[in-house]
Amino acid sequence: MSKARGNSSHPSKGPLPPGDGPNLHEFRYPNVPIKWIKRLDDEGREGNQAFIYRVRIAAQDYALKVFKFSNPKSNPFYWGTRLQNELPMKKAIFYTDPFYAECRAYGRIEDGRVDGHSKSPRIRQQTAVKCYGYLLLGDRDERWLMSQGHDFEADLLDSEVREALEGDTRVRAIVKHLDESPEPLHAGNIGRAWESVRLLNNYLKIYNMDIKANNFIGFRLADFGSSWTEPHEILQYLDKEGKDIANQKRGRDTQNFNDMIEEEQIPTRLRVVPTSRHQLRSKGEAPWAGRVLPKRRKRNTIKLD
């Protein structure tokens, strides 16, 4: 059953996260009432970092991804390393929280290049499900969501984290395109899906870190809650500690993509071969390693301009 819940007026925070890195703008209708229509993700997966609803805002339907709170102290790359002594809590949140991970990734995707000084051409292909900006939900929306049994895990936010957030604990959400008939991954689009991942990794320096079939809609990635987008404090720290670990993280999407093809049993000649020994899976050499693969038909390259 649908419910209409309005957002209370709130001050804009500008692009998020703040700072010089990639960031995402606020949705153009921040105070328009939200009509909650139905949940789109698996209701049995409350352990996830977010949940997704079909909503209507200003007569248009969207997919709204609503995020739980997180505490940097739960991230092993923060509490388990010397990084906790080098990176203040206020800044650590921007590199460990799933909401900010999506903001950083989508900010880079919208711009289409690493920075204004990048010599690489701007990427025009849509590699991800379209994003329209972030929303900070009002009290009425938050109360309605809690009445549906959602736990935002605000109890994770101790006094140190709340201080870093400057006391602003409004529920965060990201507005995305709603696909009425989402297409799964299959043999016909797996090549384009890999091209999306390759462009994100190599040109935009976005590492999704969670490549799996249900994170794609067609050939486009839909979830960036686990992503690392350069410049990234954790990657910079790992680079200083030893490039082997950092390069393993940068190559993780490659290995996960190939594993996904095998696990989903997608009939394709495409094999994503790791580019270095550091990207081989820990359980041993991949079964296709060293195999001479049949030649594939030449595909049109993606145009960059």
Residue 38 lies in a domain: yes
SS3 238: helix
Angstrom CA distances, 28 to 14, 53, 291, stand at 12, 19, 52
pTM of the model: 0.85
Residue 3 lies in a domain: no
Which residue from 67, 63, 200, 199 is spatially nearest to 132, judged by alpha carbons?
Answer: 63
Residue 298 lies in a domain: no
- Does 17 sit behind a cis peptide bond, omega within 30 degrees of 0 on the bond before it? yes
DSSP 8-state secondary structure symbol assigned to residue 293:
P
Q: How many CB atoms lie within 10 A of CB 280?
A: 15
Residue 214 lies in a domain: yes
Residue 194 lies in a domain: yes
Residue 231 lies in a domain: yes
Cα(39)–Cα(53) distance, integer angstroms: 4
Give residue-wise pLDDT tens across range 248-305: 999 999 999 999 999 999 999 887 865 544 444 444 443 323 333 334 444 444 445 5
Q: What residues contact 185, with CB distance under 8 A and at least 6 apart?
A: 193, 213, 216, 218, 219, 260, 264, 266
Specify the number of domains making up the chain: 1
Give residue-wise pLDDT tens across range 77-95: 888 888 888 899 989 999 9
Which residue from 112, 127, 302, 94 is spatially nearest to 215, judged by alpha carbons?
Answer: 127
pLDDT confidence of 45, banded at 50, 70, 90?
A: low
Residue 81 lies in a domain: yes
Q: What is the pLDDT of residue 183?
A: 94
Q: What is the pLDDT of residue 44?
A: 60
Q: Where in the sequence is the domain holding 68, given as residue range(s)?
A: 13-275
Residue 55 lies in a domain: yes
